[in-house]
């Protein structure tokens, strides 16, 4: 009998030196691609057009200790550091940490940090290069254990849809994005092209901890300068929680009314805030809907509980208060190799969190929820780890 899933991490990160994916950038654009430079005091930093120098540090912590700068993708002997190697190394690291699969988000250096590259063609070529690497060199080694999130460019709806179709052809089934598909921080009608195509292709929406503007720019209380002012009003009092304004934009723009099957997974948001946050959205809706003469088809909390999943990392409180949370909408992530993760002690962390609780709760968060969202077969034998 083969190996089965026991623990699926809903949040890990691909952290590799740029050479792994820059090789797929067309030659005419390669001079403008990100690159690493060695720092005089140790470690490396990323040199990226339109950005200040970004040192490696918290992004490549592994088992620690945490560094703000001076982090390195390489051990002293030149071999790959923990979390910075190839796919086979990553599978061995899963085994070491007691997990069987990971939902893998892109590094900031292949998403947000390259978004300021001034030439659209170069920018899109960089995004494409990372997605090729992810599909062909990394996830293909064990697609049932390395569940990669492709990058969607924020250079406009046409580029977003084109990349969505490309990654689906490459066999990737989930995407990460940090702006609305139209390229701005606010929902727009043209985004429907992306949502519709994503549903047709069966691609999952996994925007990490949020996308678009995290809070509305204000010129007076409750009135945003961009987007829908009513959407800006709903998350008052809880604006500090990143995905709430995003979700308010989606519901107020009618996205979930037009696409009732459209779901989102917001990783690394944690979940202890959910009871208060959902109450506030419903409460604000009742307070302000008359002033705006607006009526939603459902309560804000109902949209969110029907359409969204959330990921916890170091949030044991969310597990201990399970009676107050939508446990069928929660996933756990180790966040490896980032600084606030649980590697290589994930099993101990989870054992402590679930001590004394029903095994069904553990199975739901660690297996059933991620398997349901990402279409994983819990009865199937999974890919064995290659020997070193």
Q: 310-325 pLDDT, tens per residue?
A: 999 999 999 999 999 9
CA distance 334 to 311: 10
pLDDT band at 225 (very low <50, low <70, confident <90, very high): low
Topology (CATH level 3) of domain 8-16+84-374: TIM Barrel (3.20.20)
Cβ proximity of 40 and 23 under 8 Å: no
pTM: 0.96
Query: What is the arithmetic mean of pLDDT over 260-267?
Result: 98
pLDDT value of residue 120: 98
| 286-307 average pLDDT score | 97
Residues in the chain, overall count: 388
SS3 263: coil
Report H helices in the chain.
Answer: 19-22, 87-97, 120-132, 157-169, 191-201, 229-233, 242-252, 255-258, 274-292, 300-307, 316-320, 346-353, 359-363, 369-374
């Amino acid at each position: 009998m083969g190996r089965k899933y026991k623990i699926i991490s809903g949040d890990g990160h691909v952290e590799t030196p740029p050479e792994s994916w820059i090789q797929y950038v067309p030659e005419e654009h390669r001079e403008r691609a990100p690159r690493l430079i060695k720092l005089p005091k140790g470690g490396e930093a990323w040199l990226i057009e339109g950005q200040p120098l970004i040192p490696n540090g918290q992004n490549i912590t592994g088992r620690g200790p945490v560094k703000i700068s001076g982090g390195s993708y390489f051990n002293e002997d030149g071999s790959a550091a923990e979390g910075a190697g190839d796919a086979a190394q990553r599978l061995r690291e899963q085994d070491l940490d007691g997990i069987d699969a990971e939902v893998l988000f892109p590094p900031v250096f292949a998403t947000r940090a390259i978004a300021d590259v001034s030439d659209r063609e170069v920018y899109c070529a960089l995004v494409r290069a990372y997605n090729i690497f992810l599909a062909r060199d990394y996830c293909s080694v064990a697609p049932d254990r390395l569940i990669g999130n492709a990058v969607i460019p924020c250079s406009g709806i046409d580029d977003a849809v084109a990349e969505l179709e490309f990654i689906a052809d490459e066999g990737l089934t989930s995407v990460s994005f940090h702006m609305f598909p139209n390229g701005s921080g606010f929902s727009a009608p043209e985004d429907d092209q992306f949502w519709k195509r994503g549903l047709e292709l069966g691609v999952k929406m996994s925007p990490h901890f949020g996308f678009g503007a995290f809070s509305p720019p204000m010129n007076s209380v409750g009135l945003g300068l961009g987007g829908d002012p009513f959407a800006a009003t709903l998350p008052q009092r809880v604006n500090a929680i990143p995905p709430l304004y995003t979700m308010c934009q989606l519901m107020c723009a009618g996205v979930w009314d037009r696409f009732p099957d459209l779901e989102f997974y917001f990783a690394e948001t944690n979940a202890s805030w959910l009871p208060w946050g959902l109450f506030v959205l419903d409460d604000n809706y009742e307070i302000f809907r008359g002033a705006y003469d607006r009526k939603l088809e459902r309560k804000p909390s109902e949209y969110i509980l029907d359409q969204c999943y959330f990921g916890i990392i170091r949030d044991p409180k969310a597990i201990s208060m399970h009676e107050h949370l939508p446990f069928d909408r929660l996933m756990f992530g180790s966040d490896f190799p980032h600084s606030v993760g649980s590697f290589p002690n994930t099993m101990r962390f989870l054992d402590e969190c679930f001590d004394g609780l029903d095994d069904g709760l553990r199975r739901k968060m660690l297996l059933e929820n991620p398997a349901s969202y990402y279409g994983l077969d819990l009865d199937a034998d999974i890919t064995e780890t290659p020997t070193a």
